Amino acid sequence: MFWTTLIGVMVFCASTGVALGAALGLTGLVLLHVYSNGATSLAVDAIWSVFNSFTLSAVPLFILLGEILLHSGVSNRAYSAFAPLFRRVPGGLLHTNIAVCTLFGAVSGSSMSTAAAVGSVAYPEMVRRGYDKDVIVGSLAGGGTLGLLIPPSLSFLIYGALTETSIGRLFMAGILPGLMIGLMFMGYILVKALRHPQIAPRDESGLPLRDILRGFSQVWPLLILIVAVIGSIIGGIATPTEAAGLGVVLAAVISFLWGDLTLRKLLNAIFHSTLLFAAIGFVVLGATILAQSVSILGIPQQILNAVASSGLGQYSILLIVVLIYLVLGCFFDGLSLMIMTLPVVFPLLTGLGYDPVWVGVLITIVIEIGQVTPPVGLNLSVLSSLTKNEISLGRVATATVPYWLIHLFALGVLTAFPVIALWLPNLLF
């Protein structure tokens, strides 16, 4: 009866076209009213507890940090610095896309912002040089997903706030998997460029090492920003919220002095970050109400007991969870999907013995896949619009399939060798 009510109310709300946060919240209120003797006031306590969380206050600050950099044109300098490094490597600027996405992800925290910032610089330049357009957008869509995994990550911040998992440990856990996936992307590009040289014209002109190093010297402000934000958290000098505040101030100073940020652009960045956090916060509000109703009714424990008595192995259950995420990722954006499913998935997987930090990395990678899965894949939409719809959403999705598969392979590697994600957190904390 419970599941009939939950699914029925969710389907009804979805059919009316209400926002996801409202659908989740209304469903939770109905469950509390029907199955908890009308104890809907418990939802208010849960909302206050979550939104009064000091950790969650870091989310709007990191969003603002990414928006400032996005509006400042800093990505132009970063791209110019990395481009010479891969000039003579098969694949050329396609490798630069991945490298700059990795760097920008380390200061942005948002997959969509990373794809937009790097794509706006890379696409016109690479088209001018004769690169295959589909391959360009595929590399940008795949590389953009690294923004959710490389710290600071909005996914890790929200996951940590909702599950009371250490943000510092989560940030550290994302570094090696993020670099591993980035190297896998580059490996694929290298092989594809060797087999099909026409997709990426080779630049045989040499460049002295001194000029390459001089180019890298241009990105030192970004490196200072990364060290200041991540280093202050790792060193225990600042909380994630304090580090985010420091990052916003540094990003604004760097963007004014080093980029082309103006007061108008800064106000525009504040406006966009406010809208984005409002959208995320509304989903968090609705999911909090639903999580409260599910928790009070003991549903996670019932699911865990049912799973334990089903005879399914630990890895079989993990596979089922991943498949469910892959299907739902076709219809929900990544962060909304994570917020919506955590009340059930987190206690289920940790109850089976999986490390909470490792679970955070796993869920982040799975929702990254959703960022490049149509019809909702946000990275696909961003890049299609960057090409002024010259490359359709379907073509972008097709070009991104290899990166989608690499993410799945990375999930297998991390499942077989969880130490890849857990080594740094265990070493530093």
Average pLDDT estimate for 321-337: 77
| Cα–Cα separations (whole angstroms), residue 312 to 82, 304, 305, 321, 363 | 48, 11, 12, 13, 21
Token duo for residue 380: 């696909």
Residue with tokens 């208010």: 44
CA distance 101 to 206: 25
Encoded amino acid at 65, one letter: L
Answer whether residue 117 shows pLDDT above 60: yes
Of residues 79, 85, 125, 97, the one with CA closest to residue 211: 85
- Among 18-27, 95-104, 168-177, 226-235, top mean pLDDT goes to 168-177
Contact between residue 300 and residue 37 where contact means Cβ atoms under 8 Å apart: no
Mean pLDDT over the full length of the chain: 79
Q: Is the pLDDT of residue 206 over 60?
A: no
Provide CB contacts within 8 A for 332, sequence distance 6+: 20, 340, 370, 376
Q: Annotate 171-226 with DSSP letters as a single string.
A: HHHHHHHHHHHHHHHHHHHHHHHHH-GGGS--------HHHHHHHHGGGHHHHHHH
* Tens digit of each residue's pLDDT (9 = 90 or more) over 169-188: 998 898 899 889 999 999 99
Quote the CA–CA distance of 150 and 179 in Å, as a whole number. Answer: 8
Instruction: Reply yes or no on whether the pLDDT at 7 is more than 60.
Output: yes
Question: Would you say residue 317 has pLDDT above 80?
Answer: yes
Tell me: pLDDT of 164 over 60. yes
Among the listed residues 397, 406, 378, the one whose alpha carbon sits nearest the alpha carbon of residue 147: 378
pLDDT score at 331: 67
Angle (CA) 337 340 341, round 5°: 85
pLDDT at site 180? 92
The Cα 5–Cα 428 span in angstroms is 46
pLDDT at residue 1 tops 70: no
Cα 202 to Cα 160: distance, rounded to the nearest angstrom: 44
pLDDT digits (tens, 9 = 90+) for 49-78: 777 766 677 778 887 887 787 777 776 777
pTM of the model: 0.80
pLDDT bucket at 118, cuts 50 / 70 / 90: confident
**Residue whose pair of structure tokens reads 């923004």 in the numeric block:** 147
Q: Which of 138-152, 202-216, 273-287, 348-362 has the lowest mean pLDDT?
A: 202-216
Pick from 355, 410, 395, 324: nearest CA to 169:
355
- Retrieve residue 389's tokens: 């719809």
> Measured in whole angstroms, how far is the alpha carbon of residue 302 from the centre of its chain?
31
What is the rounded radius of gyration, in angstroms, for the C-alpha atoms of the chain?
22
Instruction: Report how far residue 379's alpha carbon sits from residue 401's, in angstroms, rounded to the nearest whole number.
Output: 13
Tell whether the model's pLDDT for residue 203 goes beyond 70: no
Rounded Cα distance between 18 and 2, Å, is 22
